């Protein structure tokens, strides 16, 4: 197939990026475009769950919730009321590395969104009652999204065993015990350390006029006290020398397993072949792992691989839910033989061009909404520390060779570098059916 | 590149809608002064020495004028609906037939979804793996599925590959092979997926609520099917559904993206021009429209139907409260949209405020107006820790009653109107957003001109009109309550909610209206 052998010649859109640095340390990244009459504003605070000391897991995310609970100028929840009444949408999320607040509004409301973000950057007011209430909400969130879900806590187990010293070993949601231990007194210190202009990046993408937006940013954020950039001094995870296997029994209908291999940080040279490897292993019905486990052997209901690419080295994992009558061992053997094939034989040029086309497709799809463009730009600027990657990262993918992928597979997909969690249905779940 | 995988370990303040299966698949003081500080003055900006302590006033957005789709009809009756967007080099072509799970034959729940799953699993001219290889190679995607009133297949590609996209779309929708080996494979997958869903409290709560609210209609069964039905489906069942409903007179083709209407019609004619209706006996099950209920305030309070599904290992109770609603084309739809926004729409709403902001009982509390062709429902969803189950359900009922029994305030009405009108720019932002709007309007026979009329209609609604619609369509006294959780840990005052029936999870039977199978039966 001639068509297939080339990487798509598709013209990828390039954005004009404007960067503004305020004297107080705030960095603003702006991309003006007029595809739709909306604008997205994001504030990235460079603090995430990896900055939490032992015993305080979940605090970064709990704090994120508090940022909606009122300021010197606004009552609890009033922030969101302004956004909603504007017809906009707002929310926030916390990862291991960063806490991100965002709103997308019809373009005439940019000024309002910027004021609201500037206000809560330095004017937060949290009472003990609000703190306790929001802590209960976060505990409900943990129950809803993890504890009460089939397979909901499997990833937590994987991370707890794959990492021994680096704080990626705990989940962003935190443990119930640590959440219960958190106090309102910790709130002010955390706020003054991390929620300062020197640790914040503002992203504005969409339908606005550059000069007007820049003036507005200077006006609202300029008077804020800058603070000092916080240090992120974290222990490095030592190399894993032996394979770790953990067996769990859970109230689930079908067995499952997850394998996690240590891999390098996002933005490093090896991250790109590994992302392409994940496409070749499991993206689409013609991918290797899908084809072997789900299609041909019908061992698994679902099988996928993906790298959790982050600021510090993280895990590349393969996850599968097995069909009735198939054991985790059988699934692991099938996955491991695909992993071995990748190490020993590499990938074909056709597979490589396929993976690159899938990356190009993702790239284009991620440019569709102002919010997804802002997500990407913020991530590049804060986590990868190179905002220009917003335009240029795609080239890093397109330069990867088949040899790069094989070398990366050989380096990281070694049995002793893996932690495996096997999940078995308990008797109750088996007895149900 | 930011990855979706990061979501695995991230936590989000407000929940977004999650798919049923874990494995895959929120006014007042906006002042009317014009900008607090005029910034548009010429000259360099001057940063004030202190932070402004009032939010700036901003002008309202310019009225949004949406470009309307271009509609052409082919000789065979197929409607080709094109929305041009040339900002990105991507095209999505989606074929929709107006028959979904509501057309599942009696005793065969899951047929429509099974048929949709089979579309890209082999055709007369291509094997499943050839289809997968062809679309994966160009970095495209194929997505198939069935909702309640429609089934669809969508192919998305970078602009260079549109010929391939139309070829594949026509092949999978017109000529699926329903090969026995592929049927068995999909059957096995579906049965496994159903097994996992049996342990998912959120799925179970939705399914039980559906059984009760839509009892006696073709909308009450699980759209995903039931294990028994999925085991029994035959190639003939699937073929029959396909020949009956995948016909040009029931179909429309949506093309969104980097393509002109002339080109999409040319492609449609090339690939779908020879498609013909087949003469098939027996039309789709027509659903009789429900009579609007009489003003419920005139009806004596009735006991609730409360169903508890006992899942002893649950750490949280999934709560659903709902009552029958209206079809999508019902004249009360706009008024109810406003009312729903006040009760449980995005972010700032009464349920969120009552259950979460004031009491910390829940991470999420929302309401939804579910509208099908001729009928619908109005549903509240939340979840809470086991010990607060009764209190959370009581607060949901309290907010429903408050909305029904008390006149709306001006502030309530304006906030909801502003949101619904302002939010429209975001509802049409991506190609996928536009395609889903086209699909909804076409399936339900609504005119595209309404895209630009809805804001005016919503703006012109009065408090009285909205309240009147609420009184007709919200029924807290007769609402169905579903609780899926650890019943052993529920507070003793469960009876406050009315007589409750407890069904152990291993006896739950989503296939029957009785909801429960005898002890020991499978």
Note whether A113 and A208 are same-domain residues. yes
Token duo for residue B116: 């949709």
Note whether B237 and B317 are same-domain residues. no
Q: Does A261 touch chain B if contact means CB atoms closer than 8 Å? A: no
Residues A381-411 as b/e (b if ≥16 CB within 10 A, e otherwise) read bbbbeebebbbebbebbeebebebbbebbee
> What residue numbers bound the domain in which A257 lies?
244-432
Note whether B261 and B302 are same-domain residues. no
**Closest CB from A119, A357, A393 relative to B137:** A357
Catalytic-labelled residue, pool A32, A52, A64, A96: A64
Note whether B264 and B202 are same-domain residues. yes
Note whether B244 and B302 are same-domain residues. no
Note whether A288 and A420 are same-domain residues. yes
CB contact under 8 A, A68 and B136: no
**Closest CB from B24, B56, B195 relative to A254:** B195
Residue A1 lies in a domain: no
Note whether A25 and A94 are same-domain residues. yes
Locate the chain A residue with the closest alpha carbon to B25: A302
Q: Does A399 touch chain B if contact means CB atoms closer than 8 Å? A: no
Note whether B267 and B300 are same-domain residues. no
Chain A nearest-CA distance from B397, in A, is 20
Which pLDDT score is estimated for A433?
43
CATH number at residue A375: 3.30.830.10
Which pLDDT score is estimated for B433?
93
Per-residue pLDDT tens over the stretch A158-180: 999 999 999 999 999 999 999 99
Among the candidates B272, B307, B338, a domain finishes at B272
Q: Does A369 touch chain B if contact means CB atoms closer than 8 Å? A: yes
Note whether B229 and B325 are same-domain residues. no
Residue B12 lies in a domain: no
Contacts of B24 in chain A (CB under 8 A): 302
Which pLDDT score is estimated for A429?
61
User: Measured between alpha carbons, how far is residue B362 from residues B392, B396, B447 in Å?
Assistant: 8, 12, 39
Contacts of B201 in chain A (CB under 8 A): 148
Residue B61 CA, chain-centre distance (Å), reads 28
Contacts of A254 in chain B (CB under 8 A): 192, 195-196
Note whether A179 and A277 are same-domain residues. no
Find residues 101-130 of chain A whose CB sits inside 8 Å of chain B.
104-109, 111-112, 115-116, 118-119, 122-123
Token duo for residue B303: 């006991």
Residue B319 lies in a domain: yes
**Residue B20 pLDDT exceeds 60:** no
Locate the chain A residue with the closest alpha carbon to B67: A36
Per-residue pLDDT tens over the stretch B277-299: 875 544 444 443 334 433 333 33
CB contact under 8 A, A275 and B1: yes
Q: Which residues pair with A29 in a beta bridge?
A: A19, A203
Note whether B427 and B356 are same-domain residues. yes
Chain B nearest-CA distance from A340, in A, is 22
Note whether A208 and A282 are same-domain residues. no
**Selection from B432, B379, B427 nearest residue B90 by Cα:** B432
**Residue B26 pLDDT exceeds 60:** no
CB contact under 8 A, B55 and A309: no
Count how many domains chain B has: 2
**Residue B43 pLDDT exceeds 90:** no
Which pLDDT score is estimated for B346?
79
Which pLDDT score is estimated for B79?
97
CB contact under 8 A, A87 and B522: no
CA torsion, ordered B153, B158, B162, B165, to nearest 10 deg: -30
Q: Does A165 touch chain B if contact means CB atoms closer than 8 Å? A: no
Report how far residue B100's alpha carbon sits from residue B111's, in angstroms, rounded to the nearest whole number: 9
Report how far residue A291's alpha carbon sits from residue B129's, in angstroms, rounded to the nearest whole number: 9
Q: Are A244 and A162 in contact (CB under 8 A)?
A: yes
Q: Are A5 and A354 in contact (CB under 8 A)?
A: no
Note whether A200 and A255 are same-domain residues. no
Find residues 130-149 of chain A whose CB sits inside 8 Å of chain B.
132-141, 143-145, 147-149
Chain B nearest-CA distance from A343, in A, is 22
Alpha helices for B246-388 (secondary structure H) = 261-272, 333-344, 350-351
Residue A226 lies in a domain: no
Q: State the complex-level ipTM.
A: 0.92
> What residue numbers bound the domain in which B256 lies?
70-272
Residue B279 lies in a domain: no
CATH number at residue B118: 3.30.830.10
Residue A334 lies in a domain: yes
**Closest CB from B2, B8, B12 relative to A376:** B2
CB contact under 8 A, A95 and B9: yes
Note whether B230 and B340 are same-domain residues. no
**Closest CB from A95, A118, A138 relative to B10:** A95
Residue B54 lies in a domain: no
Mutate to test the interface with A, among B41, B118, B139 (most CBs of A within 10 A): B139
Note whether B123 and B244 are same-domain residues. yes
Chain B nearest-CA distance from A382, in A, is 11
How much is the pTM? 0.90
Which pLDDT score is estimated for A23?
97
Note whether B215 and B342 are same-domain residues. no
**Closest CB from A112, A214, A368 relative to B430:** A368
Note whether A287 and A384 are same-domain residues. yes
Per-residue pLDDT tens over the stretch B295-330: 333 334 456 789 999 999 999 999 999 999 999 999
Residues of chain A with confidence (pLDDT) below 70: 1-10, 428-433
Residue A338 lies in a domain: yes
Residue B9 lies in a domain: no
Locate the chain B residue with the closest alpha carbon to A159: B9
**Closest CB from A83, A137, A358 relative to B139:** A358
Residue B518 lies in a domain: no
Note whether A216 and A248 are same-domain residues. no
Rg, Å, chain A Cα set: 23
**Residue B63 pLDDT exceeds 70:** yes
Locate the chain A residue with the closest alpha carbon to B522: A433
Residue A122 lies in a domain: yes
Among the candidates A157, A190, A221, a domain finishes at A221
A64 as an active site residue: the answer is yes
Note whether B125 and B259 are same-domain residues. yes
Q: Does A210 touch chain B if contact means CB atoms closer than 8 Å? A: no
**Selection from A184, A199, A271, A188 nearest residue A231 by Cα:** A199
Among the candidates B239, B272, B305, a domain finishes at B272
Residue A229 lies in a domain: no
CB contact under 8 A, B199 and A429: yes
Per-residue pLDDT tens over the stretch B447-499: 999 999 999 999 999 999 999 999 999 999 999 999 999 999 998 888 888 88
Which pLDDT score is estimated for A9?
56
Q: Which residues pair with A204 in a beta bridge?
A: A30, A41
Chain A nearest-CA distance from B278, in A, is 32
Q: Burial level of A433, CB count in 10 A (0-12/13-18/19+)? A: middle
Residue A233 lies in a domain: no
Residue A4 lies in a domain: no
CA neighbours within 13 Å on the CB side: how many for B407?
5
Note whether A260 and A395 are same-domain residues. yes
Per-residue pLDDT tens over the stretch B175-198: 999 999 999 999 999 999 999 999
Residue B433 lies in a domain: yes
Report how far residue B70's alpha carbon sits from residue B50's, in angstroms, rounded to the nearest whole number: 53
Note whether B91 and B134 are same-domain residues. yes
Count how many domains chain A has: 2
With bands split at pLDDT 50, 70 and 90, how would you rate the model's confidence at B56?
confident
With bands split at pLDDT 50, 70 and 90, how would you rate the model's confidence at B55?
confident
Note whether A124 and A166 are same-domain residues. yes
């Amino acid at each position: 197939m001639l068509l297939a052998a080339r990487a798509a010649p598709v013209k990828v859109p390039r954005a004009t990026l404007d960067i503004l640095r305020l004297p107080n340390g705030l960095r603003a990244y702006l991309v003006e475009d007029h595809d739709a009459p909306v604008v997205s504003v994001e504030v990235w605070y460079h603090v995430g769950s990896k900055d939490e000391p032992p015993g305080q897991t979940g605090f970064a995310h709990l704090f994120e919730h508090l940022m909606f609970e009122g300021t010197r100028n606004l009552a609890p929840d009033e922030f969101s009321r302004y956004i909603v009444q504007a017809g906009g949408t707002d929310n926030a999320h916390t990862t291991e590395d960063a806490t991100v607040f965002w709103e997308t509004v019809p373009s005439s409301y940019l000024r309002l969104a910027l004021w609201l973000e500037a206000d809560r950057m330095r004017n937060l007011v949290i009472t003990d009652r609000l703190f306790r209430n929001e802590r209960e909400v976060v505990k409900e969130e943990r129950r809803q999204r993890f504890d009460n879900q089939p397979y909901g806590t499997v990833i937590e187990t994987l991370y707890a065993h794959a990492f021994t010293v680096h704080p990626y070993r705990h989940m962003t949601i935190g443990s119930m015990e640590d959440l219960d231990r958190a106090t309102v007194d910790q709130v002010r210190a955390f706020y003054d350390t991390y929620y300062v202009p020197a640790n914040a990046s503002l992203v504005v993408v969409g339908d606005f006029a550059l000069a007007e937006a820049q003036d507005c940013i200077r006006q609202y954020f300029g008077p804020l006290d800058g603070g000092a950039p916080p240090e992120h001094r974290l222990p490095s995870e030592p190399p894993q020398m032996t394979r770790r296997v953990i067996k769990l029994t859970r109230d689930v209908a079908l067995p499952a397993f997850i394998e996690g291999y240590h891999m390098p940080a996002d933005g490093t040279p090896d991250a790109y072949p590994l992302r392409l490897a994940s496409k070749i292993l499991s993206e689409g019905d013609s991918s290797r792992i899908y084809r072997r486990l789900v299609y041909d052997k019908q061992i698994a209901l679902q099988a996928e691989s993906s790298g959790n690419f982050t600021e510090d080295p993280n895990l590349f994992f393969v996850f599968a839910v097995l069909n009735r009558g198939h054991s985790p061992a059988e699934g692991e053997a099938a996955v491991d033989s695909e992993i071995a094939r990748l190490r020993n034989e590499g990938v074909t040029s056709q597979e490589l061009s396929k993976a690159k086309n899938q990356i190009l497709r993702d790239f284009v799809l991620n440019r569709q909404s102002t919010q997804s463009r802002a997500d990407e730009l913020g991530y590049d600027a804060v986590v990868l520390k190179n905002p220009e990657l917003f335009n240029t990262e795609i080239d890093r993918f397109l330069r990867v060779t088949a040899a790069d992928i094989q070398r990366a597979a050989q380096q990281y997909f070694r049995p002793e570098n893996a932690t495996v969690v096997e999940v078995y249905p308990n008797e109750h779940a088996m007895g149900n059916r | 590149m930011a990855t979706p995988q990061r979501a695995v370990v991230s936590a989000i303040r407000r929940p977004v809608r999650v798919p049923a299966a874990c494995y895959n698949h929120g006014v007042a003081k906006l002042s009317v002064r014009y900008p607090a500080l005029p910034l548009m003055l010429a000259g360099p900006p001057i940063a004030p020495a202190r932070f402004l302590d009032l939010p700036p006033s901003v002008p309202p957005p310019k009225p949004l004028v949406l470009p309307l789709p271009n509609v052409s009809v082919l000789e065979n009756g197929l409607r080709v609906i094109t929305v041009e967007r040339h900002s990105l080099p991507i095209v999505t072509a989606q074929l929709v037939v107006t028959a979904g799970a509501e057309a599942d034959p009696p005793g065969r729940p899951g047929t429509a979804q099974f048929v949709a799953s089979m579309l890209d699993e082999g055709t007369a001219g291509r094997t499943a793996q050839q289809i997968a290889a062809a679309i994966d190679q160009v970095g495209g995607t194929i997505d198939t599925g069935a909702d309640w009133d429609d089934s669809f297949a969508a192919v998305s590609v970078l602009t260079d590959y549109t010929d391939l996209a139309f070829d594949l779309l026509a092949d999978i929708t017109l000529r699926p092979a329903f090969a026995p080996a592929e049927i068995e494979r999909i059957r096995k997958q579906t049965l496994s997926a159903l097994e996992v869903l049996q342990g998912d409290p959120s799925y179970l709560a939705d399914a039980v609520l559906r059984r009760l609210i839509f009892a006696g209609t073709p909308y009450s069964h699980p759209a995903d099917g039931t294990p028994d039905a999925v085991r029994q489906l035959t190639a003939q069942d699937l073929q029959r559904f396909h020949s009956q409903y995948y016909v040009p007179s029931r179909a429309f083709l949506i093309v969104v993206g980097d393509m002109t209407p002339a080109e999409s019609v040319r492609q449609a004619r090339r690939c779908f021009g020879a498609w013909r209706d087949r003469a098939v006996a027996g039309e789709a099950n027509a659903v009789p429209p429900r009579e609007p209920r009489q003003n419920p305030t005139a009806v004596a309070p009735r006991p609730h139907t409360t169903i508890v599904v006992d899942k002893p290992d649950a750490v949280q109770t999934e709560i659903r409260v709902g009552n029958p609603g209206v079809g999508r084309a019902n004249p009360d739809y706009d008024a109810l949209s406003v009312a729903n926004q006040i009760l449980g729409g995005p972010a700032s709403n009464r349920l969120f405020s009552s259950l979460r902001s004031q009491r910390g009982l829940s991470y999420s509390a929302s309401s939804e107006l579910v509208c099908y062709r001729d009928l619908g429902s109005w549903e509240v969803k939340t979840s809470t820790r086991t010990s607060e189950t009764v209190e959370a359900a009581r607060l949901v009922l309290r907010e429903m009653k408050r909305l029904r029994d008390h006149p709306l305030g001006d502030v309530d009405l304006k906030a909801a109107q502003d949101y619904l009108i302002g939010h429209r720019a975001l509802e049409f932002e991506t190609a996928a957003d536009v395609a889903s709007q086209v699909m909804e309007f076409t399936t339900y026979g609504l005119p595209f001109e309404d895209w630009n009329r809805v804001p005016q209609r919503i703006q012109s609604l009065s408090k009285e009109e909205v309240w009147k619609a609420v009184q007709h369509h919200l029924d807290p006294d007769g609402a169905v309550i579903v609780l899926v959780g650890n019943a052993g840990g529920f507070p003793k005052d469960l009876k406050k909610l009315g007589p409750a029936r407890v069904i152990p999870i291993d006896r739950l039977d989503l296939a029957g209206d009785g909801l429960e199978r005898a002890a020991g039966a499978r």
